[in-house]
């Protein structure tokens, strides 16, 4: 016969209400009263007496745990800690007691439900990472379907309802009231684990609390709290690597958040560390009071932690989702989800990042070369914007003509990023990365495979059109890559269902189109072309509408440049490009496109047809120089070719997969042929990888720095450059015999890349150069000095160089070469851009001239324009003369251009605002 | 249908694209001087004088005249800088003369005109020499200096004057009766900026009876002059570019044996025809010949006429030409005129104390009437009119020692030169077309 043992005494429980400032504890007290398991007493722990009606039967209060225990008559076995915002079911405590007794757990937590929506889960405990960042495993608003109803060991519990053994609580040295809500719970759990206590969650105990938002763990107070907990509980060995890692993770996180528009990221990061520095003495004191901090205790903690950083995982997931753009849902899978680095989106992201790093590593490490149109950004972004907004065009001998939109765009970005070289590098790498990401997202949106996405991304940014363009040094072409695929992505997306959705979609497409058109203005028509083709292929009319609307919305970004030049001139002006790809580059692309179009089915067919149409039309436009197309037109053609090539490759890669099983052998073979050809095209995009410079040529204009080093006190004067066109920066002019030449201000910068229409001074300079080449002139320096030309630099064979060999007043600078041949001559005659009647030179401080105040006038060697001032303006031949008494000469500006530039800025901000509002709202809804 | 339309669009676009020609580079709208066509040697804003000599026994005079009122600056460059600088003015009725601007030694100078174009000539007279010729104006791509010799007792010096700010490097192509002369010493000669390099050809290529040189700049520019010293007299003549035809109003003088030496730097041969003209207007025998390129040819003009005469040489390709005349005691040489003109500036006559002779050549078929006006520094001018029958030369004596230049105008195209003889020594000089 079995003898039953005597029943164990019923555990005595003290209820502790941890009051938060301003909270009413009446509800929590009521729910304690309603428990089926009677507590010994109730003590409210608070700095000040909580907001309850003061009467003799009210709860006891204490400032600390020790005071609370002293206030209780007799010993208690457990402490039931309740947050002041918590209410508990009547059986909550008994479930906790049962779990604690049966499992011999030291800390037991309740399942936390939403007070306002009692069927929704808020917390069921969970693991953390090594930095204490909690992982709830819940999606926002997840319904409680008892899916978590199992008692589990966890690393972290929300402190809404915790049952803690009294001896443990006393042994740990009390509660840490300096910690915020989540950290408060984590602190108890971690310290319990360190001393070997078991921490479990029992879903049978249900309490209710108010939802505090998904972003709560990322607040600086919680971050600071987690850092304090690490300092208190980890061994020194663990801290030695965990703290630097936390530092870097925090840095990466705030950088990422800053990029998303959360400007408080850096401030929070600083506050986190500053707070812990401030509280370091108390942290160290708590660490000393702790029973043990050793490798063994750390190991016990690590058992319930996930590897890596949960915050970084979140970032990776967001990036992955960004690349995927939510076009397709992953197949539901009941298996254990893969580790984050095994997730396809993460893999795609990593490969994409690796591709961008490989293609741009020299730019990242060494900066950008100065070549072609890739010139250093101006020293002052603000002054450049001033000049852009209706000010003086500094190219050549100057003009009131508006500057190229890319000058305004780069200056605006430079203003945001600060610095010159750094901003240009970030801009370039960012554009390439955005181009890859955008194309990956676009191909995903079009429903093709991951391999196709990545290869298409590579072909888009490093295929032959872009590499050819980069080889010509046409930097804006690279920058235009960043926006275009995002624009096409918006065009190809599903139709929005609401007015707000339409607004957001059009704003995004407009913004992305503007981001491309600001650098290659005529790329503004590519979304329309894409929309037209995709609408035909997909048999939907909306893509054309969206593409056209996006282009129209982006149109203001071309102001005032477009209004100043006119459509006809934009289409036909400038030296056109004429791409001539090698057969081994073109043939695989043609084969891939043709084969895919012949045999592919479904989405791959649509994508290949779209790509072929856009690419071939783009290629035709790019080679239409002899038919009257100008530089901007041919560049836009090349960009369209790049996009088309990427789509063709993507379609060809997925062609075999589109066929199914009941397909003839020739058709299958052709599909695989398309795939192989596409792979070859993809491989050719790695041509730029060895140099790591996106195909940009070597630095060509670094040697022009001599102008600064040889400048007089007023700063560098002008340099006349002549040589083969490919050796000259940006645009150039041509003498009647075809000799290329151009003027640059002493400090070569991006605003000078484009030359305005020739005016009076330019004609005079051309006449002078022709005379010089006739061999009639022995003193060219005297003539060139009138134009402020102090140096003649020859970058290669040029008739002007021949003329310089027989003259008397320009000294060759021995040993100084700015090209493979030629040389540099320095004017013996004072050659100033601005000089007073007294012969004193003024400095060029773009876009103004400054100098010592003087009587009389100052001659400004810029093309004559009546808006130069201040004071009475006089025309001096082709130049200007203004009073010198102000000590400054400025260009008054063109009011209409200024208005248009400002309007363009407002439109861009508006589009960005509409897009970002949406992006931020989505980020806020993302599951934790 | 989608795939067919797509394929058709793509194929059509790609085919049209691949047939697009590359954009044509800008077409020249202004005819420029090319290397094949050398400057015509008209008056210019500058003149380079690679040689003059002054010492206690010899004196040099620079004669300067402009097409109209002009200022001029005469700069002597030595040792990489301007050693001395003189300036002056001329107007329509004056010619300037600068005598012995440098006290001792050989000098190189350049003259810059302002306000108008002009011309300069240099004459050096004194013990054992009478020499001079025009200063060079425009600079051709290569310089022809035919007519030298390095026989025993003769000195042949090539002066390479670089007045410019950049160092120059030149190659010398030398031709003699032995053919093309080769040697490292003739290649890559550097002429530093604002200096003159003297190349002693009698040391490099001694014993040549006929030695011609073509100076080909590799980098920069130089102005060359050849100085031939026979021991009893000196002849100096400037370099010239190549031309398809040359006229020499001064091709011979009584008592002198003249040779026409022509050079061809091209690799294709040049066929030439030499016609002679004397004061009688009679038909003188013409000579035809051929220069295998590159190389030289020497045509003896001995016996063509008992009096002074001129010649015209025309070819079917560009060539350089010089007349070299010798007597027992004297030697003279001059370059020809590449073009005929109705106006000429003649710097220098009058410098030689015994007087000079202005020679006018009308190689055309109609008679011309020419007016020559003597110009002095003081502005005393004297004009005379002379008729020149077709195919003949006329010689005018300029006896006034104060005459620094002569301005010639005619009612048709002609060429002009002048010569002087003193004690068996002689000098020939050309003139500069104007107008």
Interface test with A, best of B6, B109, B140 (most A CBs within 10 A): B6
Calpha distance A492→A445 (Å, rounded): 7
| Chain B residues whose beta carbon lies within 8 Å of the beta carbon of residue A773 | 32
Residue finishing a domain among A634, A663, A688: A688
Chain A 861-880, residues with CB within 8 Å of chain B CB atoms: none
| A271-304 pLDDT, tens digit each | 888 999 998 998 888 888 776 655 566 777 888 8
Residue B24, min C-alpha distance to chain A (Å): 7
Q: In chain B, whose CA is at the least distance from the CA of A628?
A: B23
Q: Report the half-sphere exposure of A601 (CA within 13 A, side-chain side).
A: 10
Q: Between chains, do B23 and A593 touch, taking CB under 8 Å as contact?
A: no
Chain A CB within 8 Å of residue B8 CB: no
| Token representation of residue B357 | 């002779």
Residue A331, min C-alpha distance to chain B (Å): 30
Same domain, A753 and A802: yes
Q: Between chains, do A626 and B24 touch, taking CB under 8 Å as contact?
A: yes
Name the residue facing B2 among A609, A773, A775 (closest C-beta). Answer: A609
| Chain A residues whose beta carbon lies within 8 Å of the beta carbon of residue B165 | 807-812, 825, 828
pLDDT at A52: 47
Calpha distance A719→A716 (Å, rounded): 9
* Crossing angle (nearest 10°) for helices A631-653 and A526-538: 30
Calpha distance B383→A321 (Å, rounded): 100
- CA B402 vs. chain centroid, Å, equals 25
Residues of chain B by 3-state class (helix, strand, coil), percent to 5: 5, 55, 40
ipTM: 0.76
Residue finishing a domain among A688, A723, A746: A688
Same domain, A704 and A680: no
Calpha distance B164→B184 (Å, rounded): 25
Q: Pick from B425, B375, B378, B379: which is nearest to B398 by CA?
A: B375
Calpha distance A835→A858 (Å, rounded): 5
Helix (H, G, I), strand (E, B) or coil at A585: helix
Same domain, A481 and A520: yes
Same domain, A560 and A708: no
Chain B CB within 8 Å of residue A36 CB: no
pLDDT at A51: 47
Is the previous residue joined to B224 through a cis bond, with omega within 30 degrees of 0? no
φ, ψ of residue A17 to 5 degrees: the values are -100, 115
Structural domain includes residue A394: no
Interface test with A, best of B19, B23, B42 (most A CBs within 10 A): B23
Same domain, A677 and A706: no
What Cα–Cα distance (Å) separates residue A232 from each residue in A159, A164, A188, A270, B38?
19, 19, 11, 20, 93
Q: Between chains, do B23 and A807 touch, taking CB under 8 Å as contact?
A: no
pLDDT at A675: 92
| Chain B residues whose beta carbon lies within 8 Å of the beta carbon of residue A536 | 2, 5
Do B357 and B398 meet the contact criterion of CB atoms below 8 Å apart?
Answer: yes
| Chain B residues whose beta carbon lies within 8 Å of the beta carbon of residue A609 | 2-3, 5-7
- CA A860 vs. chain centroid, Å, equals 43
| Chain A residues whose beta carbon lies within 8 Å of the beta carbon of residue B71 | none
Same domain, A646 and A789: no
Residue A827, min C-alpha distance to chain B (Å): 11
Chain B CB within 8 Å of residue A573 CB: no
Chain B CB within 8 Å of residue A657 CB: no
Structural domain includes residue A333: no
pLDDT at A623: 92
Residue B6, min C-alpha distance to chain A (Å): 5
Domain count across chain A: 3
Chain A CB within 8 Å of residue B44 CB: yes
| Chain A residues whose beta carbon lies within 8 Å of the beta carbon of residue B85 | none
| Chain B residues whose beta carbon lies within 8 Å of the beta carbon of residue A828 | 165
Calpha distance A130→A234 (Å, rounded): 10
Q: Which residues of A531-542 are buried (b: 16+ CB within 10 A; e: fewer)?
A: bbbbbbbbeeeb
Beta bridge partners of B273: B288, B314
Same domain, A353 and A230: no
Number of helical H runs and strand E runs in chain A: 33, 24
Chain B 383-422, residues with CB within 8 Å of chain A CB atoms: none
Structural domain includes residue A516: yes
Q: Between chains, do B45 and A776 touch, taking CB under 8 Å as contact?
A: yes
Residue finishing a domain among A633, A659, A688: A688
Calpha distance A636→A576 (Å, rounded): 11
Chain A CB within 8 Å of residue B13 CB: yes
Task: Report the CATH number that the domain containing residue A292 is assigned in CATH.
Answer: 3.90.550.10
Chain A 531-560, residues with CB within 8 Å of chain B CB atoms: 536-537
Calpha distance A16→A41 (Å, rounded): 9
Do A93 and A151 meet the contact criterion of CB atoms below 8 Å apart?
Answer: no
Which domain, by its residues, includes A116? 13-302
Same domain, A786 and A650: no
Calpha distance A835→A833 (Å, rounded): 7
| Chain A residues whose beta carbon lies within 8 Å of the beta carbon of residue B139 | 775, 806
Same domain, A678 and A722: no
Residue A582, min C-alpha distance to chain B (Å): 12
Mean pLDDT by 10 residues, chain A (928 residues): 56 86 80 88 73 58 78 82 88 90 89 88 87 82 78 88 87 81 88 86 89 77 90 86 85 75 75 89 83 67 80 72 46 48 69 85 86 90 92 93 94 84 87 92 89 92 92 94 94 85 90 95 95 89 90 93 89 88 89 91 91 94 91 95 95 88 82 92 89 88 86 91 90 90 90 93 93 82 93 89 85 78 87 93 92 92 94 93 94 93 92 68 36
- How many residue contacts between A and B have a Cβ separation below 8 Å? 131
Query: Which residues, at least 6 apart from A623, have a Cβ–Cβ distance to it below 8 Å?
Result: A578, A579, A634, A637, B17, B18, B20
Q: Where are the alpha helices (DSSP H) in A77-153?
A: 92-103
| Token representation of residue A385 | 């914007």
Same domain, A367 and A474: yes
Q: Which residues of chain B have pLDDT under 50?
A: 27-40
| Chain B residues whose beta carbon lies within 8 Å of the beta carbon of residue A732 | none
Name the residue facing A738 among B10, B26, B44 (closest C-beta). Answer: B26
Structural domain includes residue A475: yes
Q: Between chains, do B14 and A773 touch, taking CB under 8 Å as contact?
A: no
Structural domain includes residue A319: no
For A659-704, give the DSSP string. S-SS--HHHHHHHHHHHHHHHHHHHHGGGGTTTTSTT-----SGGG
Chain B CB within 8 Å of residue A815 CB: no
Q: Between chains, do A578 and B23 touch, taking CB under 8 Å as contact?
A: yes
What Cα–Cα distance (Å) separates residue A279 from each residue in A89, A196, A231, A429, B29?
38, 27, 11, 41, 82
pLDDT at B42: 58
Across B265-355, where does the E strand assignment appear?
270-278, 287-291, 295-300, 309-326, 331-335, 341-347
Query: Which residues, at least 6 apart from B72, have a Cβ–Cβ distance to it below 8 Å?
Result: B64, B66, B87, B88, B89, B90, B96, B111, B112, B113, B114, B118
| Chain A residues whose beta carbon lies within 8 Å of the beta carbon of residue B44 | 776
Calpha distance B251→B245 (Å, rounded): 15
Calpha distance A621→A636 (Å, rounded): 8
Q: Between chains, do A774 and B164 touch, taking CB under 8 Å as contact?
A: no
Name the residue facing A609 among B6, B29, B217 (closest C-beta). Answer: B6
pLDDT at A199: 92
Chain B CB within 8 Å of residue A779 CB: yes
Same domain, A488 and A630: yes
Query: Which residues, at least 6 apart from A469, have a Cβ–Cβ distance to it below 8 Å?
Result: A477, A478, A577, A579, A635, A638, A639
Q: Between chains, do B30 and A770 touch, taking CB under 8 Å as contact?
A: yes
Contacts 24+ apart (CB under 8 A), A259-263: A260/A919, A260/A920, A260/A923, A261/A916, A261/A919, A261/A920
Is the previous residue joined to A165 through a cis bond, with omega within 30 degrees of 0? no
Chain B CB within 8 Å of residue A602 CB: no
Chain A CB within 8 Å of residue B138 CB: yes
| Chain A residues whose beta carbon lies within 8 Å of the beta carbon of residue B23 | 575-576, 578, 625-626
Q: Where are the alpha helices (DSSP H) in A303-417?
A: 310-324, 344-366, 381-388, 405-417
Across A97-154, where does the E strand assignment appear?
107-114, 121-123, 152-153
Q: In chain B, whose CA is at the least distance from the CA of A803?
A: B220
pLDDT at A126: 87
3-state SS of A1-45 is CCCCCCCCCCCCEEEEEECCCCCCCHHHHHHHHCCCCCCCEEEEE
| Chain B residues whose beta carbon lies within 8 Å of the beta carbon of residue A812 | 165-167, 193
Same domain, A611 and A712: no
End-to-end Cα, chain B, rounded Å = 78
Q: Taking the CB of residue A817, how many other CB atoms lie within 10 A of it?
A: 15
Structural domain includes residue A404: no
Q: Between chains, do B163 and A808 touch, taking CB under 8 Å as contact?
A: yes
Chain A CB within 8 Å of residue B1 CB: no
Q: Where are the alpha helices (DSSP H) in B127-247?
A: 201-204
Structural domain includes residue A321: no
Helix (H, G, I), strand (E, B) or coil at A348: helix
Structural domain includes residue A436: yes
Number of helical H runs and strand E runs in chain B: 2, 34
φ, ψ of residue A67 to 5 degrees: the values are -65, -40
Name the residue facing A736 among B28, B164, B165 (closest C-beta). Answer: B28
Q: Pick from A203, A213, A110: which is nearest to A163 by CA?
A: A110
């Amino acid at each position: 016969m079995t003898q039953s043992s005597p029943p164990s005494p019923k555990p005595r429980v003290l209820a502790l209400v941890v009051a938060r400032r301003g909270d009413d504890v009446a509800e929590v007290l009521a729910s304690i009263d309603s428990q089926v398991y009677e507590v010994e007493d109730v003590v409210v722990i608070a700095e000040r007496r909580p907001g309850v009606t003061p009467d003799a039967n009210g709860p006891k209060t204490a400032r600390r745990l020790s005071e609370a225990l002293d206030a209780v008559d007799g010993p208690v076995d457990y402490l039931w800690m309740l947050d002041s915002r918590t209410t508990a079911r009547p059986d909550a405590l008994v479930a906790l007691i049962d779990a604690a007794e049966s499992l011999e757990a030291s800390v037991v937590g309740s399942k936390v439900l939403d007070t306002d929506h009692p069927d929704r889960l808020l917390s069921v405990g969970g693991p953390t990472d090594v930095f204490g960042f909690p992982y709830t495993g819940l999606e926002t608003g997840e319904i409680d379907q008892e899916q978590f109803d199992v008692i589990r060991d966890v690393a972290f519990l929300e402190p809404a309802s915790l049952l803690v053994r009294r001896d443990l609580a006393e042994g740990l040295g009390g509660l840490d009231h300096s910690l915020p809500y989540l950290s408060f719970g984590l602190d108890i759990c971690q310290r319990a684990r360190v001393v070997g206590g078991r921490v479990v969650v029992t879903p049978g105990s249900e309490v209710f609390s108010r939802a505090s938002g998904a972003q709560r763990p990322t607040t600086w107070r919680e971050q600071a709290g987690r850092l304090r907990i690490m300092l208190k509980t980890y061994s020194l060995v663990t801290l030695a690597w965990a703290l630097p890692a936390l530092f870097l993770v925090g840095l990466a996180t705030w950088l990422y958040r800053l990029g998303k528009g959360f400007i408080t990221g850096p401030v929070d990061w600083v506050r986190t560390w500053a707070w812990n520095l401030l509280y370091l003495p108390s942290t160290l004191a708590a660490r000393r009071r702790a029973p043990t901090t050793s490798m063994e205790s750390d190991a016990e903690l690590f058992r319930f932690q996930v590897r890596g950083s949960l915050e970084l995982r979140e970032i990776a997931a967001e990036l992955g989702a960004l690349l995927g753009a939510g076009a397709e849902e992953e197949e539901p899978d009941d298996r254990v989800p893969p580790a984050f680095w095994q997730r396809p989106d993460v893999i795609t992201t990593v490969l994409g990042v690796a591709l961008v790093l490989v293609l741009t590593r020299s730019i990242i490490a060494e900066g950008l070369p100065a070549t072609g149109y890739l010139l250093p950004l101006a020293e002052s972004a603000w002054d450049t914007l001033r000049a852009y907004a209706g000010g003086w065009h500094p190219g050549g001998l100057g003009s009131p003509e508006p500057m190229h939109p890319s000058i305004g765009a780069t200056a605006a970005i430079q203003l945001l990023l600060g610095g010159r070289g750094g901003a240009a590098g970030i801009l370039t790498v960012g554009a390439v990365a955005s181009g890859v990401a955008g194309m990956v997202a676009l191909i995903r949106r079009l429903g093709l495979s991951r391999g196709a996405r990545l290869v298409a991304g590579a072909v888009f940014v490093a295929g032959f059109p872009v590499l050819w363009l980069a080889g010509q040094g046409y930097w804006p072409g690279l920058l235009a890559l960043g926006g275009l695929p995002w624009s096409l992505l918006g065009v190809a997306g599903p139709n929005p269902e609401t007015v707000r959705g339409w607004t957001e979609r059009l704003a995004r497409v407009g913004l992305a189109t503007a981001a491309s058109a600001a650098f290659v203005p005529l790329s503004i028509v590519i979304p329309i072309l894409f929309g037209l083709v995709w609408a035909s292929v997909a048999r939907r009319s909306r893509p054309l509408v969206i593409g056209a609307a996006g282009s129209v919305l982006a149109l203001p970004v071309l102001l005032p440049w477009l209004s100043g030049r006119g459509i006809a001139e934009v289409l036909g002006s400038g030296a056109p490009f004429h791409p001539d790809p090698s057969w081994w580059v073109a043939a695989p692309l043609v084969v891939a496109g043709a084969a895919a179009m012949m045999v592919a089915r479904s989405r791959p067919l649509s994508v290949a047809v779209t790509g072929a149409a856009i690419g071939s039309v783009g290629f035709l436009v790019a080679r239409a120089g002899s038919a009257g197309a100008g530089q901007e037109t041919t560049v836009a053609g090349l960009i369209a070719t790049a996009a088309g090539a990427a789509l063709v490759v993507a379609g060809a890669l997925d062609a075999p997969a589109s066929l199914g099983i009941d397909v003839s052998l020739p058709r299958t073979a052709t599909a695989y042929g398309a795939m192989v050809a596409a792979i070859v095209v993809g491989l050719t995009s790695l041509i730029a990888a060895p140099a790591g410079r996106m195909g940009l040529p070597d630095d060509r204009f670094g040697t022009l720095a001599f102008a600064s080093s040889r400048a007089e006190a007023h700063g560098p004067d002008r340099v006349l450059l002549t040589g083969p066109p490919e050796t000259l920066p940006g645009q150039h002019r041509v003498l009647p015999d075809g000799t290329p030449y151009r003027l640059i201000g002493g400090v070569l910068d991006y605003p000078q890349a484009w030359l305005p229409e020739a005016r009076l001074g330019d004609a005079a300079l051309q006449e002078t150069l022709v005379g010089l080449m006739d061999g009639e002139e022995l003193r060219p320096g005297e003539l060139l000095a009138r134009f402020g030309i102090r140096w003649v630099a020859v970058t290669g064979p040029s008739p002007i160089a021949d003329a310089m060999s027989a003259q008397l007043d320009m000294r060759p600078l021995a040993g100084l070469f700015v090209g493979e041949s030629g040389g540099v001559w320095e004017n013996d005659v004072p050659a100033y851009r601005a000089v007073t009647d007294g012969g004193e030179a003024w400095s060029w401080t773009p876009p103004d001239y400054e100098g010592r105040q003087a009587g009389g006038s100052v001659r400004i060697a810029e093309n004559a324009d009546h808006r130069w001032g201040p004071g009475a303006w006089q025309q001096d031949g082709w130049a200007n003369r203004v009073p010198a008494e102000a000590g400054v000469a400025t260009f008054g500006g063109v009011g209409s251009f200024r208005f248009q530039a400002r309007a363009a800025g407002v439109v861009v901000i508006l589009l960005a605002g509409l897009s970002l509002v949406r992006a931020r709202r989505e980020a806020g809804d993302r599951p934790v | 249908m989608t795939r067919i339309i797509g394929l058709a669009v793509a194929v059509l676009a790609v085919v049209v694209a691949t047939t697009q020609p590359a954009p044509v580079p800008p077409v020249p709208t202004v005819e420029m001087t090319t290397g094949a066509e050398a400057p015509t040697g008209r008056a210019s804003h500058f003149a380079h004088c690679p040689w003059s000599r002054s010492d206690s026994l010899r004196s040099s005079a620079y004669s300067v005249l402009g097409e109209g009122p002009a200022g001029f600056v005469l700069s002597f460059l030595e040792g990489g800088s301007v050693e001395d600088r003189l300036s002056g003015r001329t107007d329509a009725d004056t010619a300037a003369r600068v005598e012995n601007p440098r006290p001792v030694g050989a000098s190189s100078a350049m003259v810059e005109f302002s306000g108008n174009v002009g011309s300069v000539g240099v004459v050096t007279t004194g013990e054992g020499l009478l020499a001079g010729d025009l200063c060079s104006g425009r600079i051709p791509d290569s310089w022809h200096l035919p007519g030298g010799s390095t026989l025993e007792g003769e000195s042949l010096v090539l002066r390479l004057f670089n007045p410019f700010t950049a160092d120059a490097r030149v190659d010398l192509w030398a031709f003699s009766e032995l053919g093309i002369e080769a040697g490292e010493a003739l290649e890559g000669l550097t002429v530093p900026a604002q200096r003159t390099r003297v190349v002693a050809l009698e040391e490099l290529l001694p014993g040549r009876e006929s030695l011609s040189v073509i100076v080909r700049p590799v980098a920069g520019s130089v102005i060359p002059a050849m100085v031939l010293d026979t021991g009893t007299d000196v002849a100096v003549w400037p370099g010239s570019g190549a031309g398809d035809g040359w006229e020499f109003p001064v091709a011979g003088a009584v008592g002198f044996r003249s040779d026409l030496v022509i050079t061809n730097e091209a690799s294709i041969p040049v066929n030439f025809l030499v016609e002679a003209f004397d004061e009688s207007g009679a038909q003188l025998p013409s000579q035809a010949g051929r220069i295998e390129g590159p190389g030289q040819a020497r045509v003896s003009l001995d016996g063509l006429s008992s009096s002074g005469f001129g010649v015209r040489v025309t070819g079917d390709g560009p060539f350089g030409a010089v007349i070299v005349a010798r007597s027992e005691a004297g030697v003279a040489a001059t370059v020809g005129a590449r073009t005929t003109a109705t106006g000429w500036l003649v710097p220098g006559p009058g410098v030689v104390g015994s007087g000079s002779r202005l020679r006018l050549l009308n190689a055309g078929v109609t008679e011309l009437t020419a007016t020559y006006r003597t110009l002095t520094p003081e502005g005393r001018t004297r004009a005379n009119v002379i008729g020149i029958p077709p195919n003949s030369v006329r010689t005018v004596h300029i006896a006034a020692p104060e005459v620094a230049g002569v301005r010639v105008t005619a009612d048709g195209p002609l060429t002009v030169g002048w010569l002087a003889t003193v004690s068996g020594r002689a000098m020939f000089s050309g003139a500069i077309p104007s107008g």
